[in-house]
Amino acid sequence: MPDKLIERGVVIVNRLGLHARAAAKLVRAAGAFRSVIRIERTDGGGSADAKSILSVLMLAASRGTELKITAEGADAVQAIDAVCTLIEDGFGED
């Protein structure tokens, strides 16, 4: 079965953006899946491996930043759901 590549757009909604705690949550969530998950700033400001906290932090995604999430692999659908839900819920912060 060929691996699926799917993508979805999300916006950072929590006040502090992708700071250390939020990034830690995101990386932990992404790490639970086998798919390759990438996060890209739609403004061309760079992209990151969702399983690397250092590269996620480097996105410097503050509130309002638009991101494109892509996932590729057998569990891509579940992976993208988990990551996008976390971001859309503001990491449960505010």
Site residues for other proteins per CB under 8 A: 14-21, 23-24, 27-28, 49, 51-55, 57-58, 60-62, 93-94
Amino acid at 23: A
How would you list the strands of the sheet with 36-41, edge to edge?
4-11, 66-73, 36-41, 47-49
Sign of the dihedral through C-alpha 77, 45, 47, 53: negative
Minimum distance, C-beta of residue 27 to other proteins, in the bound complex (Å): 5
C-beta of 1 vs 12, nearer to other proteins:
12
C-beta of 36 vs 77, nearer to other proteins:
36
C-beta of 15 vs 34, nearer to other proteins:
15
Length of the chain: 94
Residue labelled with tokens 């998950």: 37
Catalytic annotation present for 19: yes
So which residues are the catalytic ones?
19
